A and B are shown apart, each in its own frame.
Chain A
Amino acid sequence: MALHKDEIALDVQDLHKHFGGIKAVDGCSLQFPKGKISGLIGPNGSGKTTTFNLLTGVTAPDSGKILYNGENLAGLKPYKIFRKGITRTFQITRIYREMTTFENMLSVAGLSIPEREVRQRAEELMDFVNLTGLRDEYGGNLSYGQQKLLEFSRALMTDPDLILLDEPAAGVNRTLLVELLKHIHELQEQGKTIIIVEHDMNVIMNHCEKIFVMDYGVKIAEGLPEEIQANKQVIEAYFGHT
């Protein structure tokens, strides 16, 4: 069922990215619904992280469009895309290890709120993910799960509309994961659009309203969790032909 234009947060059209002879993303079109949690899944090397990198400007696409609020973001610099309200986390956390938790939060640029409110916002977000007690600790001294929370809360400093999470569950223990998912749902309730790349199928099937499946750089399926679970092509992509 095609979405109406107003229901689409991010409209990716025929995206291509080649690295030498490897077609990492090969003509992918994805329409992420506004205000919902979407999942992007696929076997290793199917092009999910490359897609995230293209969407956030980390790498420029060879061709294709990334439409966001009627504007094509393809090829823009990362900081410009970020300032349009799109934020992300990384598969392996990229927090600043020799800076304190608080400094990690304050480093974010291009905020829409006045400078004097920035500290307050940083404090609120640290509180949101229970990191207030580690405010003056170096990022590198936090546990891996805490680093993930720090990266997550840092990504929220600008109050973004679109949040891309690259494997939020990887390396996070169950208790923390429940916590993290609770935060993700809270953000969705605030009207934000969330896209998750994840290998943990429990997270994807129980928390995403729409799922996109990639394999060899192309989208092979999209739909509701139950539709994806029954999709023959998806099962083949994961387990091979039977």
Chain B
Amino acid sequence: MTRKEHLINLGYLAAFLAVLTVLPSQFSVYITSFIMFTMMYVVLALSWNIISGYTGYVSFGHVLFYGVGSYASAILVADHGWHWVPTLAVSALVGVVIAVAIGFPVLRLKGPYFAIAMLGAAEGTRVIVTVWDGLTHGGEGISLPNVENSTETYIAMLLLMVATIAVSYWVGHSRFGIRLNAIREDELAAEVMGINTTVYKLAAFALSAVFPAIAGAIQANKTLYIDPETEFFILITITMKLMAMLGGKGTVIGPIVGAIVLYSVQEIVWIRFPQAHLIAFGIFLILVARFMPRGLVGFWIDRGWARKGMVH
């Protein structure tokens, strides 16, 4: 890609962000919070995409990092009197440390074995959080001090989304990203062609964990109450995966589009048809998998509306 194209993309992003920055003052609390959660899902879908879309290690347990991030922050705020902003750094660190610790053994597994191992890791963490009363308050959850911070959490989520988009964009246009793609396509060939696959996979995994951990932390300070069931809810993993797939995994724009479309559709359907919402969700996904296996962006590429490959 030429420098000019990168600058044009940067221009789009800046315009988009300018609009998002002024929005909270213009709309109701409901709309502001809706936009904040949409941004959160953009973060989650993009993060999942780094390890699963670019690198091909499909994670079924990514909620793990979101959950530990939210708990790390909530414990510090509720039990140790920290202000919520510095806890975000701790959550990020906890996310990365856990990603490296889990990733080192689990990234040796491939395909469905990796997927199941991650599912197990997430569920196992949920159980640990539930029974570790002394640290996590167990199943009764943690209530955070009641302070009005809608605008602050909105801005924090906006900044986090900017950071996630920037990192995804860099991964998507760098040789680091190409090498992650090579691991996805043929790990043995990648290693024979000089790539230290262990290091690359761990780096991708840590990157894909850090943003969800911070997102979880911001979310905890927005909703002011967390418990293991909601913070480690498996549907959160599935949602980020579906968003990336709908938009087009392995691309930068795909998960962003997927998150916005799916979260909006979900919200509308959920309000009107609370009972039918999951059924509609399921049918929608089957249709995407059947007719757009490479997502909306893949559909555009196949029709020549977007270019192939990441580097030009």
Contacts and interface: CB of A to CB of B under 8 A. Distances in A.
Given A100-B308, A103-B310, A138-B308, A82 B182 contact: no
Interface string A81-125: 011000110100011111110111011111100010010000000
Interface in B263-312: 307-312
Contact of A103 (B181, B192, B307): B181
Contact of B182 (A58, A88, A99, A136): A99
B186 A58 contact: no
B309 A79 contact: no
A158 interface: yes
A155 B312 CA distance: 21
Interface in B28-52: none
A110 B191 CA distance: 11
Interface string B173-199: 001001101101110111111111100
B192 A82 contact: yes
Contacts of B186: 94-96
Contacts of A65: none
A102 B311 contact: yes
A77 interface: yes
Most buried by A among B182, B184, B192: B192
A236 to B, nearest CB: 34
Nearest to B310: A103
Interface in A104-155: 104, 106-111, 115, 118, 136-138, 154-155
B195 A109 contact: yes
A79 B197 contact: yes
Given A90-B189, A106-B175, A107-B175, A99 B194 contact: no
Interface residues of A, number: 36
Contacts of A100: 308-309, 311
Nearest to B250: A98
Contacts of B182: 96, 99, 104, 107
Interface in A149-197: 154-155, 157-158
B226 to A, nearest CB: 39
B185 to A, nearest CB: 4
Contact of B194 (A95, A102, A104, A108): A108
Interface of A: 56-58, 77-79, 82-83, 87-88, 90, 94-100, 102-104, 106-111, 115, 118, 136-138, 154-155, 157-158
Given A99-B178, A110-B195, 16 more contacts: A78-B191, A79-B196, A94-B188, A96-B181, A96-B186, A96-B189, A97-B185, A98-B184, A98-B250, A103-B181, A103-B309, A107-B175, A107-B193, A109-B196, A118-B175, A136-B312
16 contacts: A58-B192, A79-B193, A79-B197, A94-B188, A96-B189, A97-B185, A98-B185, A99-B182, A99-B185, A100-B308, A107-B175, A107-B190, A108-B194, A109-B179, A109-B194, A136-B307
Nearest 9 Cβ contacts at the A-B interface: A96-B185, A110-B194, A94-B189, A100-B309, A109-B194, A107-B182, A82-B194, A78-B191, A109-B195
